[in-house]
């Protein structure tokens, strides 16, 4: 089995009989940017691309145009400020685990 087929079946779970959604596929790739252009030129072009997208007029004025990673950065900022929300059952399990060694959870 070639490495690409192995990677594809490993990611999709096809070797374990798991069927993913029809027509859904993913590709993961990595390239050495400096094999095509200088790192500085690439970064400069990316900065311009990001600025162009973020300054575009959104379809919905209530939501700004986003680039990959914007939602994750916003979520991280929120989690750092407000903590990570947990289900009550998870908190119960954590309290139970902390009880035996005498750890005070404080939540």
DSSP per-residue string spanning 56-72:
SPPSSTTS----TTHHH
Give domain status of residue 31, yes or no. Answer: no
Give domain status of residue 9, yes or no. Answer: no
Give domain status of residue 23, yes or no. Answer: no
The whole model's pTM is what? Answer: 0.53
Give domain status of residue 83, yes or no. Answer: yes
Mean of pLDDT over the chain:
84
7: pLDDT strictly greater than 60: no
Give domain status of residue 7, yes or no. Answer: no
CA 5 to CA 21: how far, in whole Å?
18
CA 10 to CA 37: how far, in whole Å?
33
Give domain status of residue 8, yes or no. Answer: no
User: If you ran DSSP here, which 8-state letter would residue 104 be given?
Assistant: -
Q: Which domain holds residue 92?
A: 37-102
Total number of domains constituting the chain: 1
Give domain status of residue 81, yes or no. Answer: yes
2: pLDDT strictly greater than 50: no
pLDDT digit string (tens) for 59-96?
Answer: 999 999 999 999 999 999 999 999 999 999 999 999 99
50: pLDDT strictly greater than 60: yes
Give domain status of residue 21, yes or no. Answer: no
Query: Which stretches of the chain are DSSP H helices?
Result: 3-12, 39-54, 70-82, 88-99
């Amino acid at each position: 089995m070639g490495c690409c087929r192995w990677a594809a079946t490993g990611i999709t779970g096809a070797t374990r009989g798991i069927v993913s959604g029809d027509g859904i596929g993913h590709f993961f790739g990595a390239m050495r940017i400096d094999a095509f252009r200088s790192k500085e030129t690439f970064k400069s072009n990316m900065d311009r691309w990001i600025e162009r997208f973020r300054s575009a007029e959104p379809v919905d004025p209530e939501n700004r145009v986003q680039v990959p990673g914007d939602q994750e950065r916003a979520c991280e900022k929120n989690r750092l400020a407000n903590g990570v929300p947990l289900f009550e059952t998870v908190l119960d399990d954590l309290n139970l685990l902390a009880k035996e060694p005498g750890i005070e959870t404080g939540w």
